[in-house]
Amino acid sequence: MKQLYCFLSLFLIFANSYGQACLPDSTIRDSAVGVYPKPVTPANPNGGITTPACINKPFSFNLTVKISDTVSVPGVPFPVNLNCAKIATTGAIKGLPEGISYACNPPDCTFPKNSIGCLILQGTPTAANAPGIYKPVITITLSTLFGNIELAYPGEFFPGEYLLTLLDETCAVSTENYGRESDTWYPTISKGWVYAKNPEIRDLAVYDAMGRVWMSRVNTTGGL
């Protein structure tokens, strides 16, 4: 009987895990309230969505959600008691490539106060997408004693950006016009100065494969 009880307990644990869309990162449990990884900012250049997606290839990326019992609301000089945070089960994340959707743990995407949960970006980007950098934004509703407060994350009160790099079907190129772009800028290997045939270009930013800014310049002398 004792062995049967242990077997049933293990079965329930595995069945519950199998039915979950994702598992939260347990190392975040003692962190501040927020969505992890945090968005890319000048102070957090290695954050955000660090796994690139490829057209017609399966993709998944987990985000962990940490909720406390209070929240700082813009315009309110004291912490507001929080009941829960929630996102709609569909349509709450704008800016995703076509073919990528999301799911939550808990399944209703309602995260009670003093809890840790997660959501997963998953799917297969279709050929209808252009390769490039996508910037998903999550609409979050905070349930407080003052009523519901809807905020964008990242957004006005949560600085930074989530940058999702979508590569082509070979998982190598993140722009549709790579031939034209390589003809526009020269030299192809530079020690700090690059030039453009178009004299109207004033700003230049170089991004790595994860969509993070590696270098930026402003044209003030006739050459970038």
Residue 182 token pair: 């390589």
Phi then psi for 183, rounded to 5 degrees? -80, -20
pLDDT tens string 172-184: 876 655 444 444 5
Q: Please name which of 71, 83, 79 lies closest in space to residue 32, comparing C-alpha atoms.
A: 71
Q: Which of 129-138, 179-188, 192-201 has the highest mean pLDDT?
A: 129-138
pLDDT, mean of residues 11-34: 69
The reported pTM is 0.69
pLDDT tens string 78-114: 888 889 999 999 999 999 999 999 999 999 999 999 9
| Cα–Cα distance list, 172 to 139, 169, 183 (Å) | 31, 8, 18
Q: Please name which of 155, 159, 137, 158 lies closest in space to residue 72, comparing C-alpha atoms.
A: 158
State the Cα–Cα distance between residues 25 and 40, nearest whole angstrom. Answer: 19
CA quadruple 33, 34, 38, 42: dihedral, nearest 10 = -70
Which residues neighbour 62 within 8 Å (Cβ) at sequence distance 6 or greater? 22, 23, 24, 25, 118, 119, 120
Lowest mean pLDDT segment, chosen from 133-142, 172-181, 183-192: 183-192
For the chain, the average pLDDT equals 79
State the Cα–Cα distance between residues 154 and 118, nearest whole angstrom. Answer: 16
Q: Tell me: pLDDT of 56 over 90.
A: yes
In terms of pLDDT, which residue wins out, 4 or 80? 80
- Judged on CB neighbours under 10 Å (0-12, 13-18, 19+), 148 is exposed
Q: Please name which of 217, 212, 86, 100 lies closest in space to residue 160, comparing C-alpha atoms.
A: 212
Q: How confident is the model at residue 189 (pLDDT cuts 50, 70, 90)?
A: very low
Rg of the chain over Cα atoms, rounded to whole angstroms, equals: 22
Q: Tell me: pLDDT of 221 over 80.
A: no
